Amino acid sequence: MSENLDKNDWLVEENDGQLSIDVYHDDHNVYIFAPIAGVKASDVDISITDEVITIKGVRTPGHDAGIEKHFTQECYWGPFSRSYVLPIAVNSENSKATLKDGLLRIEVPKDDKVKTRMIKINDTK
């Protein structure tokens, strides 16, 4: 450790924390689950397009003890974010999200429209 750093400087995070997610699908929807214990729904923003979903938020420790008062600080406190490229076409307009018992659940309907189009090749003679 550098002599210029305070012994607790390794506790300070300069970048957003990474949010872990599980993503799966069934016949009708894509589901995204993220454990975000200790975060209120008002502290989370979700944006979604037909291709990418982004979840941003902030975790606050719920206490005001400074770093110098901690024996151990393993929890990440501060801003977090995660962007995920959706692997299939979805209908982002009908998405819904719930936060219950520290688990964020996002449900995104699959797009029923077929976006693939066959093109006939004209034979030129």
Residue 64 has a pLDDT of 83
Exposed e or buried b per residue across 14-45, where buried means at least 16 C-beta atoms within 10 angstroms of its C-beta? eeebebeeeeeeeeebbebebebeebeeebbe
Q: Give all domains of the chain, ordered by start, each with its CATH number.
A: 9-109 (2.60.40.790)
Give SS3 for 89: coil
The total number of residues shown for the chain amounts to: 125
CA separation for the pair 52, 11 (Å, rounded): 31
Answer yes or no: is pLDDT of 53 > 60.
Answer: yes
- Is the model's pLDDT at 72 over the cut of 50? yes
Q: What is the mean pLDDT of the chain?
A: 83
Q: What is the pLDDT of residue 5?
A: 42
Q: Once rounded to an integer, what is the mean pLDDT over residues 79-90?
A: 93
What span, in angstroms and rounded, lies between the C-alpha atoms of 73 and 20?
Answer: 19
Which two tokens mark 113? 């429209």
pLDDT at 21: 96
105-124 residues labelled b (16+ CB within 10 A) or e (exposed):
ebebebeeeeeeeeeeeeee
For 4-18, write each residue's pLDDT tens digit: 444 444 444 456 788
DSSP, collapsed to helix, strand or coil, labels residue 111 as: coil
Confidence band (pLDDT; 50, 70, 90) for 75? confident
Mean pLDDT of 30-58: 93
